[in-house]
């Protein structure tokens, strides 16, 4: 009987300890995932900003350099060599900026979604840490009354 009661006590005390370590492990995992999601979100913001600036700046440079002609003397229209080089550079910036923006926007949205999920899971794991004996879900048990005649 003494050995049986000893096994019973060991079993009872090991369950809360295991539940606490599991919750704390989950919290550490989700903290790591939150940190990674913030990095992905930051990368998406940087790529989107650089791509947007390159696209807008390139379009302005291309418009000024390639499509505008300057009159040198009355009746004669010539193109400036420096402005046409700037127009080619602007066209190159547009060609580079558009794909960078197209990569940055999904990266930003993916990082934001992952950050939201990680924060939600951290809140759930904090609730489980505060009450390790809580075996119900985060929403708990609901009771619904229906007053229809």
Q: Give the tens place of pLDDT for each residue, 23-56.
A: 566 778 888 999 999 999 999 999 999 999 999 9
Assigned domain for 134 exists: no
Place of tokens 């197209």: 102
> Which pLDDT belongs to residue 136?
47
Assigned domain for 140 exists: no
Assigned domain for 137 exists: no
Assigned domain for 40 exists: yes
Q: What domain range is 78 assigned to? A: 29-129
Does the structure show a pLDDT above 80 at 61? Answer: yes
How far, in Å, CA of 58 to CA of 49, rounded? 14
Render the burial of 14-53: b for 16+ CB within 10 Å, e for the rest: eeeeebeeebeebbeebeebbeebeebbeebeebbeebbe
Q: How far is CA 3 from the centre of its chain?
A: 55
Does the structure show a pLDDT above 90 at 138? Answer: no
**pLDDT tens digits for 67-105?**
665 555 555 555 555 567 778 888 899 999 999 999 999
Assigned domain for 77 exists: yes
How far, in Å, CA of 51 to CA of 69, rounded? 28
Report how many domains make up the chain: 1
Contact (CB, 8 A) for 86 and 64: yes
**HSE value, Cβ hemisphere, 13 Å, CA-based, for 34:** 14
Contact (CB, 8 A) for 54 and 91: no
**pLDDT tens digits for 107-127?**
999 999 999 988 888 887 766
Answer with the residue of higher pLDDT: 95 or 128.
95
């Amino acid at each position: 009987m003494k050995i049986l009661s000893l096994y019973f006590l060991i079993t009872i005390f090991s369950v809360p300890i295991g539940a606490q370590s599991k919750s704390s492990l989950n919290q550490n995992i989700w903290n790591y995932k939150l940190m990674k999601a913030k990095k992905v979100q930051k990368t998406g913001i940087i790529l989107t900003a650089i791509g947007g600036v390159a696209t807008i700046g390139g379009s302005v440079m291309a418009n000024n350099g390639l499509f505008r002609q300057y009159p040198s003397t009355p009746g004669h229209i010539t193109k400036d060599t420096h402005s046409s080089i700037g127009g080619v550079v602007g066209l190159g910036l547009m060609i580079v900026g558009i794909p960078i923006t197209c990569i940055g926007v999904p990266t930003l949205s993916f990082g934001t979604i992952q950050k939201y999920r990680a924060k939600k899971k951290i809140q759930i794991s904090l609730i489980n840490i505060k009450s390790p004996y809580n075996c119900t879900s985060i929403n708990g048990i609901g009771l619904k009354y229906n007053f229809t005649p």
